[in-house]
Amino acid sequence: MNKALLALVILVGVMLGLGSFTFYYGEGHSYLSKNPEACLNCHIMGPQFDSWQKASHHTAATCVQCHLPQSSIYKYISKAENGFNHSKAFTLQNFDEPITITEKNSRILQQNCIYCHSAITENLTHGSTTDANALSCVHCHRTVGHGEPLGLGGPLRQEEKGGI
Amino acid sequence: MSGASSILKSKIGIVVIVIIVAAISAVVTALLVNIIQRKAESKNGYVRLVEVTEDDTDPEKWKTNWPKQYDSYKKTSLATRTRFGGHGGSEALPEQKIERDPWLKRMFKGYAFSIDYRDRRGHAFMLEDQVNTERQTKPQTGSCLHCHASIMPLYRELGNGDAIAGFEETYKYSYSDLNQMLKDSGNDHPVSCVDCHDSETMEIRVTRPGFIQGIQALAESDAPTPHLPSIEQWREGPRAAPYDPNEDATRSEMRSYACAQCHVEYYCASNMKLTFPWGKGLKAEEVEEFWDDTTFSNGEQFFDYTHKESGAKILKAQHPEFELWSQGIHARSGVSCADCHMPYIRDGASKVSDHWVRSPLLNVNRACQTCHRFSEEELKERVDGIQQRNFDLLQRAGAALMGQLDAINEARAQGATDEDLKEALELQRKAQWRLDFIAAENSMGFHAPQEAARVLGEAIDYAWQGTVSASTWQDKETQQ
């Protein structure tokens, strides 16, 4: 075998090894799943994850079910796009806080509300529900996904007071 | 393969491939190291390299273990300004508040605050500024060091191990004597790490005897405290032991209690021990009632000073931030002092509480936007609107009080005695208490806007009632 080719093969092999270890160590495989804990990998979604566990929708929907499109092709395109943006931002640490949902993702979210609740909302959703003038579901139903803002609770309700 | 093998035959081709592969490997390795670093950050809150104990008041020692917190704590020496807070004047000598609002000076006649009353600087200066204020030209009490220094070891020393007993002796000392003892014991630091953190567990805790006694009195009262659920819970229990904030309070409440050890109304002079007046509740009139029912050891009704112009026995409000916050919507919603004044900062993959305690207006994204999803400009404008309205009403109340003082002076010139002016002087005490309660409070009304307006409204009403009473003193005499 050509010596140069051998060297090249070794180089590429080393790179592949390093790459796959990084992928494994960074839990890259978890991003192919729909497990909500995958969203916690980069540490920044902690409050969102915590508050989702306490919110009404934690029994009904996981992160990706609200935040990614339903159709399988668009789901993976959106997953790749958000995944890239998130890893870039978190690696470079160059984003504004508090983090806020983008307009594009906000439209996806709105479509997902209607996807599940179409039977109830049929009479409310004639015309677009995602253009600039439309009222989004979470404008009022803000706490269904993440509870009270970022885990801040109000005072104890009467029924929570008894017993220590 | 002919193209590929021709590249491999040329030396330049091989060099180019090696460079490309090397660059990619470097990027992948950098990413790997970055991931390792973030994972480590999210695992270890801190590493305890040096031991710290309850007697280590010097924050320098703590910084080895908690460099992030220490760095932000040190920033309290930086000057910060907002529209109504912070200061003009030079960095070393903030502007006089009493020059800016002349009614303040006249209101404080007969009290040391008419000599020197400046805008605040950050926590780092709390001890230095107190030692250097011109108010020290009048004898001051050792009680002041309760909040201005890291004084717990000295309290324990004075009480032979019992901090509360030690504390209860300190009002008898002069400020300069106690300050000297503080220096000799090596504890002359502004309030530092050990004052709010358990040196063993780092848990947030309260240490100040004045606060502990005050909050116990509040717990034992009937005043509703919906914003402090642990107190209501304690009241429903067997009350076997007194309410203990360090045991009974929630973590969120502790994030306010730590601040309420000092940012409150209190009595701080040499006639009796430092007292937090919460035995009847936290509202302005409940605190007033507590003071009205308090008597000195000589039997005289409680007062802070005698007004030099009118002779009224005046109550001086300190800075009732905790009390006013307690009446506001943020407290009611479970938002603590630290949530806005020491919000969480993300540092890589770790979350650190910002120890650069300052106005939330300088930290809007962390302090406000976590809950309020509006732009910074919008939020600042809303706050500004609230504060401007409070400021306007405050000026009105100041003018009303000046009107009352003029009326009292006029009555005196006509020959009115203390007895003739009894009602007018009592009304001055009431009006001035309410005015001062909001003027001395450090949020320009923001901590509870509606409550601040209510209290100022009462101040204006009492001042005008007092004006009428003073200017009609002769009518009363003829009636009798």
Q: Which residues of chain B neighbour A147 with C-beta distances below 8 Å?
A: none
**B348 in reach of chain A (CB within 8 A):** yes
Give the C-alpha distances (Å, rounded to integers) separating B64 from B47, B59, B76, B192: 9, 9, 19, 14
- Report, as ranges of residue numbers, the positions in chain A whose pLDDT lies below 70: 1, 127, 149-164
B299-323: b (≥16 Cβ within 10 Å) or e: eeebbbbebeebebbbbbbbbbbbb
Residue B270 burial by Cβ neighbours in a 10 Å radius (0-12, 13-18, 19+): middle
Residue A116 burial by Cβ neighbours in a 10 Å radius (0-12, 13-18, 19+): middle
Structural tokens at position B400: 């009303």
Looking at CA atoms only, how far is residue A109 from chain B in angstroms? 17
CB contact under 8 A, A164 and B369: no
Give the torsion sign (CA, B351, B354, B360, B362). Answer: negative
Structural tokens at position B143: 């009680």
Instruction: Compute how many other C-beta atoms are within 10 angstroms of the C-beta atom of residue B95.
Output: 14
Q: Which residues contact A142 (CB under 8 A, 6 or more apart)?
A: none
Nearest to A15 among B24, B41, B371 (CB): B24
Per the CB < 8 A criterion, the answer to whether B70 and B124 are in contact is no
Q: Which residues contact B399 (CB under 8 A, 6 or more apart)?
A: B103
Give the torsion sign (CA, B404, B405, B406, B407). Answer: positive
Q: Which residues contact B226 (CB under 8 A, 6 or more apart)?
A: A155, B232, B332
Q: What is the DSSP letter of B101?
A: S
Predicted pLDDT of residue B8: 65
**Long-range pairs, B105-110, Cβ under 8 A, ≥24:** B106/B309, B106/B402, B106/B405, B107/B398, B107/B401, B107/B432, B107/B435, B107/B436, B108/B316, B109/B307, B109/B308, B109/B309, B110/B305, B110/B306, B110/B307, B110/B308, B110/B309, B110/B314
Per the CB < 8 A criterion, the answer to whether B105 and B132 are in contact is no
Q: Which residues contact A52 (CB under 8 A, 6 or more apart)?
A: A36, A58, A63, A145, A146, A147
Predicted pLDDT of residue B479: 58
Q: How many CB pairs under 8 A join A and B?
A: 89
Q: Which residues of chain B neighbour A12 with C-beta distances below 8 Å?
A: 21
Per the CB < 8 A criterion, the answer to whether B469 and B427 are in contact is yes
pTM for the complete prediction? 0.86
* Model ipTM value: 0.73
A 28-87 near B (Cβ less than 8 A):
42-44, 46
Q: Which residues of chain B neighbour A2 with C-beta distances below 8 Å?
A: 5, 8
Question: Which residue in this structure is represented by tokens 């020197």?
Answer: B116
Nearest to A4 among B14, B229, B371 (CB): B14
Give the C-alpha distances (Å, rounded to integers) separating A18 from A9, A29, B29: 14, 15, 7
SS3 A130: coil
Predicted pLDDT of residue A98: 82
Share of chain B above pLDDT 90, in %: 62
Task: Walk me through the domains of chain B, giving residue ranges and CATH numbers.
Answer: 59-365 (1.10.1130.10), 378-479 (1.20.140.10)
Q: Which of B1, B2, B7, B8 to mutate to test the interface with A (most CBs of A within 10 A)?
A: B8
Of B206, B237, B202, the closest CA to residue B219 belongs to B237
Question: Over the stretch B24-38, which tens digit does the pLDDT of each residue have?
Answer: 989 999 999 988 888
CB contact under 8 A, B35 and A25: yes
- Report, as ranges of residue numbers, the positions in chain B whose pLDDT lies below 50: 1, 88-91
